[in-house]
Amino acid sequence: MLQIVCKLRAMDQDASPRTWTVPLPIQRPRARQEIVIPGGRNRASRYIHHALVLAIARAKTWMCGLRSGAYAGTMEIARRFRLNDAHVRRLLRFGYLAPDILEAIVEGRQPRSLTVKRLLQGIPCAWSEQRTAFGFASWAC
């Protein structure tokens, strides 16, 4: 426990300062939560990256909303979700990932280096280039 000692002067000028000791719990750093699904002997363990799955789901939902007319444009999405328009546009690109890459992400079979931050840096248009850029070229999805 951490203790803070405060010395305050009473309202009277003649009174001596009072001291209070208040115990405070020590804050521990937030632990990162992850789900690791064992795949057996012949399969690599799985890691479902919740932030990545959520970002892809948002991108797909926003795309459907744009197509159906629920959103007039990316500015409306940004305003509604209190985000920057440029960020919304970058997230919308997640909807153009190759289907096998999306499947691997949802099942937790993506390389650990594939994160939201990595995808925000840019996504190649061609699916074959995506597989190479994100580490899927060397293993079957």
* pLDDT for 141: 45
- Print the SS3 string covering 88-108: HHHHHHHHHCCHHHHHHHHHC
Q: Which amino acid is at 119?
A: L
Is it the case that residue 11 has pLDDT exceeding 70?
A: no
Is it the case that residue 121 has pLDDT exceeding 60?
A: yes
Average pLDDT over residues 57-62: 95
Pairwise pLDDT comparison (51 vs 140), residue with the higher score? 51
* Cα separation, 40 vs 137, whole angstroms: 23
pTM of the model: 0.64
Contact criterion met (CB below 8 Å) for 84 and 91: no
* pLDDT for 112: 86
Every domain of the chain and the residues it spans: 35-123
- What's the start-to-end Cα distance of the chain, in Å? 50
Is it the case that residue 31 has pLDDT exceeding 50?
A: yes
